[in-house]
């Protein structure tokens, strides 16, 4: 009985808010995070201290500069990857994330499509 109710709630919510059921494509920042972390099954570590954002994989900072638009794009990428279920900080403290199986599959798909 719960499944039909949840389905109805989802349909009504989408209808009221006008949400789209399509998935937006990955941004460049999201692709870089996925591909970098997938190479060595690495952790993604990020911190934003004193207005300096660091998104680090294997000791390499992926953020090219600290302009506000750049910082916003990288923070959005982390939030989007977590919302999509591609990264998880379950079992980790603070800004430490690992790729989920879905994230590894997305990284593989991204790598294939970029090499074609």
Query: Is the pLDDT higher at 79 or at 13?
Result: 79
Is residue 17 assigned to a domain? no
Number of structural domains, the chain?
1
Q: How far apart, in whole angstroms, are the C-alpha atoms of residue 69 and residue 11? A: 34
pLDDT for the residue numbered 14: 55
Is residue 79 assigned to a domain? yes
pTM: 0.74
Q: How far apart, in whole angstroms, are the C-alpha atoms of residue 34 and residue 105? A: 10
pLDDT digits 0-9 by tens, 106-116? 999 887 766 55
pLDDT digits 0-9 by tens, 43-98? 899 998 888 999 999 889 999 999 999 999 999 999 999 999 999 988 777 789 99
Is residue 8 assigned to a domain? no
Is residue 62 assigned to a domain? yes
pLDDT at 2 over 70: no
pLDDT for the residue numbered 19: 56
pLDDT digits 0-9 by tens, 25-49? 999 999 999 999 998 888 899 998 8
Tell me, what CATH number does 76's domain have?
1.10.10
Is residue 75 assigned to a domain? yes
Write the CA distances from 11 to 6, 60, 83, 91, integer angstroms. Answer: 9, 43, 20, 33
- Quote the domain boundaries for residue 48: 24-115
């Amino acid at each position: 009985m719960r499944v039909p109710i949840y389905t109805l709630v989802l349909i009504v919510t989408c209808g009221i808010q006008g949400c789209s059921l399509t998935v937006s494509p990955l941004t460049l920042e999201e692709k870089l995070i996925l591909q970098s972390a997938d190479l060595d099954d690495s952790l993604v570590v990020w911190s934003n201290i004193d207005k300096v954002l660091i998104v680090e994989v294997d000791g390499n900072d992926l953020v090219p500069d600290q302009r506000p638009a750049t910082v916003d794009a990288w923070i959005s990428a982390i939030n989007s990857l977590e919302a999509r279920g591609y990264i998880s900080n379950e079992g980790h403290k603070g800004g430490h994330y690992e790729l989920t199986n879905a994230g590894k599959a997305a990284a593989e798909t991204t790598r294939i499509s970029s090499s074609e």
